Chain A
């Protein structure tokens, strides 16, 4: 997962608390994505960004917000965590130019009790 770091790798929190997950890239790619992966649902897009301060909603954006104040950082915030947000969260970047592959981070396992 060269160039993409997610933090934290694991987090346990309580219902109703705010949670922020961080995705950091070192390669200056324009597009960044947040996905969640759940058994039976596969990977679903939460939010994505196409530049600094430019973000848009994905399929399952309710209860989540994002911010991108710098090219290299894309933050995902759960304003008030619920048990239904227990999941594995993946950040991805889309490479530019002729090679437009998605590169994924290692994921964050979030448990909301």
Chain B
């Protein structure tokens, strides 16, 4: 059974810092990995999707990497801003791309 963990569970940083969020998964037979953002009381917003054949994806100040063989992904946020404060979740899909298993999330606070 696929299990996904995220470290740290919570993180508080001053504005302007670069930071890294970590995601680990136990079964490397995945189809893709996605990173999401969730604001309090809201649904999830997809940030980046990395196919199993890719090593990284970038969108603006966000960069996500994938090392499938070691079961790890990182989300790098450059020059953090207070508006980045949210919970960040990663999810991996099974080898058919049908089902998704989510990590518990990292709660990020960026202090002005």
Contacts and interface: CB of A to CB of B under 8 A. Distances in A.
Interface string B46-58: 1001000000000
B69 interface: no
Given A42-B104, A42-B105, A43-B89, A103 B46 contact: yes
B20 interface: no
Contacts of B103: 42
* Interface SS of chain B: strand
A106 B100 contact: no
Interface string B61-84: 000000000000000000000000
Interface size class of A (residues with CB under 8 A): 20 to 34
Interface residues of B, number: 21
Contacts of A92: 44
A44 B93 CA distance: 13
Given A42-B104, A90-B44, A102 B34 contact: yes
A106 B43 contact: yes
B14 interface: no
Contact of B46 (A45, A102, A105, A106): A102
B102 interface: yes
A58 B100 CA distance: 10
26 contacts: A1-B43, A33-B100, A42-B102, A42-B103, A42-B104, A43-B89, A43-B102, A45-B100, A50-B98, A58-B99, A90-B44, A92-B44, A100-B32, A100-B97, A101-B34, A101-B46, A101-B49, A102-B34, A102-B44, A102-B46, A103-B46, A104-B43, A104-B45, A105-B43, A107-B42, A107-B43
